[in-house]
Amino acid sequence: MIDKLNIGSEPVFDERIVKIETRTYNPYANTTFRYNNEIRIPIQQQDLYILPCESYLYVKRKVMKQVAVDGATVTLGYNGVAFMFDEIHYGRCGLDDVEIDRNRNVGITSTLKNYVSISSDKNAIMKSAA
């Protein structure tokens, strides 16, 4: 009995039930998006919870120059895809539309977070991916 009340020791965490699954969701319509368009990605399962900090958004696009200049190349800068979004909402869609999390100025906030929390070797990998 006295061992169960020993709160001076370190806590024991049981993480055996945690698992990571990769799923693919597509937006409502596969159309050409322009400035100020909204992209909604529905997740139809009611018992599925998504951890936003462990989620990924895969963006596939083609970068085109408006005016062709000889010898010029087009590249995205560091964390360039995040600057394409004004804000990102994470919420439960349906009858109640509960907003769980919101991030405004996605490019700025994610870049500042990365400067503080990413190690120098991962930072070099991200720079080469741009």
108: in domain: yes
Q: Is 15 part of any domain? A: no
125 lies in some domain: yes
What's the total number of domains in the chain?
1
Neighbours of 92 (CB within 10 A): 13
What is the tens place of the pLDDT at every residue in 56-110?
A: 777 777 777 777 778 877 777 778 888 888 888 877 766 567 777 888 898 898 8
Tell me if 96 is assigned to some domain.
yes
* Residue 80, in any domain of the structure: yes
The tens digit of pLDDT for each residue in 46-68 reads 666 666 677 777 777 777 777 77
Burial class for 65, CB neighbours closer than 10 Å (0-12, 13-18, 19+): exposed
- Position 9 in a domain: no
Two structure tokens written together for 16: 């055996």
| 16 part of a folded domain | no
Q: Structure pTM?
A: 0.55
Nearest to 130 by CA among 88, 74, 85, 71: 74
DSSP for 19-61, please give it.
---------S------TT---------TT----GGG-------
**Angle at Cα 10 formed by Cα 8 and Cα 11, nearest 5°?**
115
Contact 28, 42 (CB under 8 A): yes
Answer yes or no: is pLDDT of 1 > 60.
no
Domain range for 67 is 61-129
23 lies in some domain: no
